[in-house]
Structure 1
Amino acid sequence: MPGGRRIAAVTEARFDVAPGECLALIGESGCGKSVLASALLGLLPANAQTTGEARLGGLDLLAADERTLARTVRGRRIGLVPQSPAAHLTPVRTIRSQVQETVSALTGIRGRTAVRAAAETAVARTAFPEDHLDRYPHELSGGLAQRAATALALVGDAPLLLADEPTTGLDRDLVEHTVDELRRHIDDADRALLMITHDLSAAERIADRVAVMYAGRIVEISDAAVFFGTPGPRHPYSRGLLHALPDRAFTAIPGLPPELGDLPGGCAFAPRCARADDACVTLPNLTETAACHHPHIPENSRA
């Protein structure tokens, strides 16, 4: 809020995610993806304001009070894989004790032996090494901390899993293991997964649908098979993102994203887009086609 002026970090974020489905939310750093995740969990700063609705079953998450969010939502109805796992792990307790406490709190499992076994099963799902369970968070690499945080998120078997950059700090083999485990987690019991990521390869491996965010707005929602295959995304920004995949010819997107406090009128991507036309000065509603949801697409960018 520079100079006391309020800015909109996220606007026009309309989407849904169904049981048994993974929706991958992708976009450049700073576009508003993690702000959206924090809003769903009631973890925004005290001076932030939210409008609209975010429905989980019959509960409006944006209207829920802190007591409801803490006691019935976080961990129980929404499991969180945080973007910065080291900040979410208790620094003065071992990983084993933290996972065991989570098992006891969220699963109803009782008895030292049963809780210990359940905790070891939870961390094994994320390939966390058993001989590191009695280490403290500061003794772990970034990748190990990420795997520990993922194990904690999976313990409660929440109907919605919110994974914010779950592959950060992992090598490629562990990225594939992690996304495959997340996929199994939602497939096993029709759980839903909202995966926030800039790792397009991971999104391609796991997602059923893809939502693209730019400058705080979702500009396109598409079936993953359409987005990563044929005919591909429709929005020019989405097409530019695909060039970050290792099997595509790399082409940089010119320019820089706009400041959220100084967004241009109409499509915020227009100043960076070689295909912008006069109609781009008007920002239309997100509409639906047979294959994807999309905003206005410049005439000279249509396939």
Structure 2
Amino acid sequence: MNGPPPSSFAAFDVSKSDRTDALTVVGLTVTYRIGGRDREVLQDVSFRVRRGEAYGLVGESGCGKSTVAMATLRYLPRNGKVKAGKIVIAGEDVHKLGADALRGMRATTVSMVYQDPGRALNPSLTIARQVSEAFEAAGVARDEALQRTLAMLKRVRIAAPERVMDSYPHQLSGGMQQRVVIAMALASNPALLILDEPTTGLDATVEAEVLDLVAQLRQELGTAVLFISHNLAVIGRMCERVGVLYAGKLVEEGATQDVFARPRHPYTVGLLRCLPTAGRSKDRERLDTIAGGLPLPGSVTQGCIYAERCRLADERCRRDAPPPYRLGAAHGDQMARCHYHERAIELPQAASSAAPVRAAAPDAARPAAPSPVLRAHNLSKTFHVSGAPLRAVDDVSLELASGETLGLVGESGSGKTTLARLMLGLLAPDAGGVLELDGAPLAARVTRRSDAQLKSLQIVFQNPDSALNRAHSVKRLIGRALARFTALRGPEIDARLATLTDAVRLPERYLDARSRQLSGGLKQRVAIARAFAGDPRVVVCDEPTSSLDVSVQAAILNLLADLQRERGVSYVFISHDLHVVRYVSDRIAVLYLGRLLEIGPAAAVFDGPQHPYTEALLSAVPTLPGDGGSGEPRPPTRIRLTGELPGPGAMPSGCVFHPRCPRKLGAICEQQDPPFADAGGAANLPSAHRIRCHIPVATLRELQREPRDDNAGNPANGGDADDASRNAS
């Protein structure tokens, strides 16, 4: 075992780092005044971000990642203060700066991009005014600031920047808003750019575009980046080095390739094992989980702060706090605060993860034509926006079998949530659409459905905060659903409540708590328990894990899989995270502008052949370093889609995807709507793989096996449409 310090941070030469680093943090300890006393939320954190480098900071919510960013900018809330340590940005000690110097540093040297661009933009000001203000803050005259605004919007690859300059934030998509915020952050050509969860909530293609943009601008400008995220795959794609925070302490640090290939701290190992990476599915294995939760801020812990959740911990760990062990690795030094860092990679699986999982029955063993629990036929939904029709769902037909999970994927605006709301009766479809539950007609409006139908279709929302009454106790929230959807009363409800909370792994001690007192993962368990109160036949899961840490996400995904096996419930699962969709889904449906472009078994859709739109979606998904090794398929070459989704009244003729399609054939795509073609499986079964494309399935298969240039065949990207046509002939 290698020895303790001097570690890579304990031995910082601050005078040297001032000249060579964009950011140096040494011994940072931050406290918040809570309940009349100071509680430490960061303890002796030290790291450096070199000029031009991207450094990732990862960890669960509450570990202190955003507090590091706020302390760096001196933006801590009133009850927060830096108790100890030093922060140096581009040679300037931040905490020695006066008010004017600090304002100047924020205007010219360091910028920050927040998670929610909508909250970072002023809804009452045009984009031109907001971006130009960023230039004016750096001392540029107003007329020149407007000229630079136009140039910067072009630089961040915003189409029609003149139109965008005259727009207000609410008139732009989430991805476009994030590009505007990045343009504002880069207006001063900062030495350091801090990104705090900049892609959370964005779909795969927009996320990939934002990440590509950051990488390109970083290369052009030489800007250093501090990238804060709980998405390990994004960090793996963007950052040369990574630091892992746990309960306010940096427990591991090193080159991203080294940390992700051979983590040296059990916490890092646990985070990586929680991920539903390529090749994993609910039918073959459960996701590993990290038991327990973070200690309360300010908790005094003897020994290792992670010992209570660590499956390697022994008396030594509980007695002696591990020093930062410095280790040699393939791409530089690696640090880990663990007594047993040499065998951290051998961390045993959680007992629940090792439990045998019932394998899915092979196709030959399944019924030839199982009766669907839910059937949608020719569903359409048209809205009228500013007097123009917008077809949000366009002639969609699909079936859901008992005990099956159907994943709905597509970019924001593709119609996923609208389709789910049609199924739930929250919206009424256009004339001609048919819904059936267990073969019986299902009323279009939820207000006209029977109690049996109401309890048969339930939903779990993305944000449990918006779905749960903060003033009610957990017991009342679930109890009201039981009283509404069952004939149980009094003690019977209490007994059923206990069974239900046990099924969703919700400890009894939380029954009297209000939802506002619970963590995000516990709130989502309450929402799931409420959805299952009436023994539903179908549960719509609308982004149920997108705002959760990977450790909590793994527990929720395991829970949903367990409930499905135990109760035979069917899921419609909506998510932007295609790794999650692949893990939980039996079949996948791909939507674009309300049209169903592809549907089939998950393995068939992900392994190909695929519709060109599906191909582009899958190519945008970030993968961890090493994914695709050890016999796994290599991550696909990135396919960049250009342009925005069309607005109301501008639906393309022919194939709806042809304006953005990298494999467009020509006039046939512009003029004729392609029929579905069978890509595998029996054509008359719901399990058939079908693709709506003019390119023959066999040709798609061959094209998608070939290595490709990112821009090949896309005229908007500089490719040649004739080349694409010849390739597909």
1:294 aligns with 2:313: no
Corresponding position of 1:256:
293
Give the match for residue 321 of structure 2: 283
User: Residues of 1 paired with 2:291 and 2:267: CA distance?
Assistant: 11
1:26 aligns with 2:69: no
Deviation at residue 65 of structure 1 after TM alignment: 3.0
Q: Which amino acid aligns with 1:260?
A: P
Residue ranges of structure 2 left out of the alignment (5+ in a row): 1-32, 281-286, 347-729
Q: Does 2:107 correspond to 1:69?
A: no
The alpha-carbon deviation at position 295 of structure 1 amounts to 1.2
Q: How does 1:136-155 map to 2 (within 5 A)?
A: 136-155=168-187
1:52 counterpart = 2:85: yes
The answer as to 2:124 corresponding to 1:87 is no
| TM-aligned CA deviation for residue 189 of structure 1 | 3.8
Q: Is the 8 A contact 2:264 2:343 kept in 1?
A: no
Alpha-carbon deviation of 1:190? 2.9
Q: Tell me which of 115, 121, 144 is aligned to 2:151.
A: 121
Q: Does the 8 Å contact 1:78/1:159 carry over to 2?
A: yes
Q: Is the contact made by 1:235 and 1:297 (CA closer than 8 Å) also made in structure 2?
A: no
2:65–2:228 contact (8 Å) kept in structure 1 = yes
Separation in structure 1 between the aligned mates of residue 156 and residue 300 of structure 2, nearest angstrom: 40
After TM superposition, the structure 1 = structure 2 runs for residues 150-229 of structure 1, keeping only pairs within 5 Å, are 150-229=182-261
For 2:179 and 2:72, the matched residues in 1 are separated by 23
User: How far is the alpha carbon of 1:203 from its aligned partner?
Assistant: 0.5
Comparing 268-277 and 132-141, the one that deviates more: 132-141
Contact 1:42 1:66 in 2 (8 A): no
Rounded to whole Å, the distance in 2 between the matches of 1:31 and 1:9 is 8
Whole-angstrom CA distance in 2 between matches of 1:144 and 1:187: 21
Shift of 1:262: 2.2
The CA deviation string for residues 70-90 of structure 1, in whole angstroms up to 9 with x for no partner, is 12x113111111234333323
| Mapped contact 2:264–2:338 kept (Cα < 8 A) | no
Supply the distance in 1 between the matched residues of 2:256 and 2:240 (Cα, whole angstroms).
Answer: 5
Distance 1:141 1:186, change over 3 A: closer
Q: How many residues get paired?
A: 298
Amino acid at match of 2:212: D
Kept in 2, the 8 Å contact 1:39–1:62? The answer is: no
Greater CA radius of gyration, 1 or 2?
2
Task: Write the distance in 1 (CA, Å) between the matches of 2:311 and 2:228.
Answer: 28
| Contact 1:125/1:181, CA 8 A, preserved across alignment | no
> Could you tell which deviates more after superposition, 176-185 or 48-57?
176-185
* SS, match of residue 262 in structure 1: coil
SS in 1 for 2:108: coil
Comparing 254-263 with 29-38, which one deviates more in the overlay? 254-263
User: TM-score of the superposition, structure 2-length normalised?
Assistant: 0.39
User: C-alpha displacement at 1:252, in angstroms?
Assistant: 1.6
Partners of 1:293 and 1:75 in 2: CA distance: 34
Deviates more, 1:250-259 or 1:284-293: 284-293
What do the CA deviations read for 1:4-56 (whole angstroms, capped 9, x no partner)?
A: 01101111210001012111000111111111100110111233220210112
Residue 59 of structure 1: how far off its partner (Å) = 1.3
Cα 1:300–1:3 shift into 2, 3 Å? same
Cα distance in 2 between the residues matched to 1:274 and 1:244: 15
Q: How much does 1:174 deviate?
A: 1.8
Choose the corresponding residue for 2:43, options 11, 17, 26.
11
**Which range is displaced more, 178-187 or 195-204?**
178-187
> In the aligned structure 2, how far is the partner of 1:123 from the partner of 1:226?
36
Q: CA deviation at 1:111?
A: 6.7
CA distance in 1, matches of 2:72, 2:201: 24
- Provide the residue aligned with 2:133 in structure 1: 101
Q: Is the 8 A contact 1:77 1:158 kept in 2?
A: yes
* AA of the residue aligned to 1:123: L
Measured against aligned partners, the alpha-carbon deviations of 1:107-135 in whole angstroms (never above 9, x if no partner) come to: 74x573x5434313323444445344333
User: Residues 300 and 276 of structure 1: is their aligned pair in 2 closer, same or farther, counting only changes over 3 Å?
Assistant: farther
Higher relative contact order (Cα pairs below 8 Å, separated by 6+ residues): 1
Question: Structure 1 residues 122, 297: CA separation in 2 closer, same or farther (over 3 Å shift)?
Answer: farther
Structure 1 residues 97 and 48, CA gap change in structure 2 (3 angstroms): same
Distance 2:252 2:39 in 1: 22
The CA deviation at 1:166 is: 1.3
- The 2-side partners of 1:135 and 1:263 are apart by 51
Q: Any gaps of 5 or more consecutive residues in structure 1? A: none
The answer to which structure has the higher strand fraction is 2
Contact 2:52–2:224 (CA under 8 A) maintained in structure 1 = yes
SS class of match (1:290): strand
Change (3 A) 1:301 1:233: closer
User: Quick one: distance in 2 between partners of 1:259 and 1:122?
Assistant: 44
Shift in alpha-carbon separation, 1:150–1:253, aligned structure 2, 3 A:
same
- The whole-number CA distance in structure 2 between the counterparts of 1:49 and 1:56 is 18
CA distance in 2, matches of 1:207, 1:54: 21
- Percent identity between matched residues is 35
Using the alignment, how far apart are the partners of 1:111 and 1:86 within structure 2?
25
1:20–1:186 contact (8 Å) kept in structure 2: yes
Of 193-202 and 176-185, deviating more is 176-185
When normalised by structure 1's length, the TM-score is 0.89
Q: Which amino acid aligns with 2:304?
A: C
Point out the more displaced range, 131-140 or 259-268.
131-140
Q: Return the match for 2:311 from 274, 289, 292.
A: 274
Specify whether residues 120 and 62 from structure 1 end up closer, same or farther in structure 2 by C-alpha distance, changes over 3 A only: same
Structure 1 residues 107 and 122 mapped into 2: Cα distance closer, same or farther (>3 Å)?
A: farther
Give the residue type in structure 2 aligned to 1:70.
R
Query: What is the alpha-carbon distance in structure 2 between the residues aligned to residue 283 and residue 239 of structure 1?
Result: 19
> What is the RMSD of the two structures over their aligned residues, measured on CA atoms?
2.3
Q: 2:352 maps to what in 1?
A: none
> Could you tell me whether the CA contact under 8 Å between 1:26 and 1:212 is conserved in 2?
yes
Kindly state the Cα deviation for residue 183 of structure 1 after the two structures are TM-superposed.
2.0
Q: Please say which of residues 120-129 and 291-300 is displaced more in the overlay.
A: 120-129
Aligned-residue offset at 1:139: 4.4
The DSSP-based 3-state class of the residue aligned with 1:121 is: helix
Match of 2:383 in 1: none
Distance 1:279 1:177 in 2: 47
SS at match of 1:175: helix
Q: Is the 8 A contact 2:196 2:227 kept in 1?
A: yes
